[in-house]
Amino acid sequence: MKQTLLVKHAVSGRMFFDSNKKNINYTLIEQGDGWLFEIHSPLDETLEALLECKEELNVFIFKTYEDQPTLKIWYYVKDGPVHYDKDKQQISIYAHSRIEYYPHEYAQ
């Protein structure tokens, strides 16, 4: 199974992180009633732009299998919290809800 992480601005669709294009060191932890993403990244222009719209983020995990359809999991961040730790060079993104779906089930 291949797993892809995407972090996007929900309003404009701007892509901040795409693990298909760049190796991204991250963890996903189920925490309380939601999910915590910890992504290691230096503070750069892209991350600064992400932090400016931290209340409008969508995070996706795509799980691609050789023998079955791709499962997409959409995590909605809503109110966060989203926090950057300069010492660890790590952004923490907390998602309050998620939806799992198979795109082929919605194709017409």
Q: Which of 84, 75, 62, 73 is nearest to 1 (CA)?
A: 62
Q: Are 39 and 94 spatial neighbours (Cβ–Cβ below 8 Å)?
A: no
| pLDDT over threshold 70, residue 28 | yes
What's the rounded Cα separation, in Å, for the pair 49 and 108?
36
> Across all residues in the chain, what is the average pLDDT?
93
What's the rounded Cα separation, in Å, for the pair 81 and 71?
26
Q: So where are the chain's domains? A: 2-59+70-99
**HSE, side-chain direction, 13 A CA sphere, residue 22:** 12
pLDDT in tens, 64-88: 999 999 999 999 888 779 999 999 9
Q: Over range 40-47, report the average pLDDT.
A: 95
Q: Which of 16, 9, 35, 38 is nearest to 94 (CA)?
A: 35
Percent of the chain exceeding pLDDT 90 equals: 82
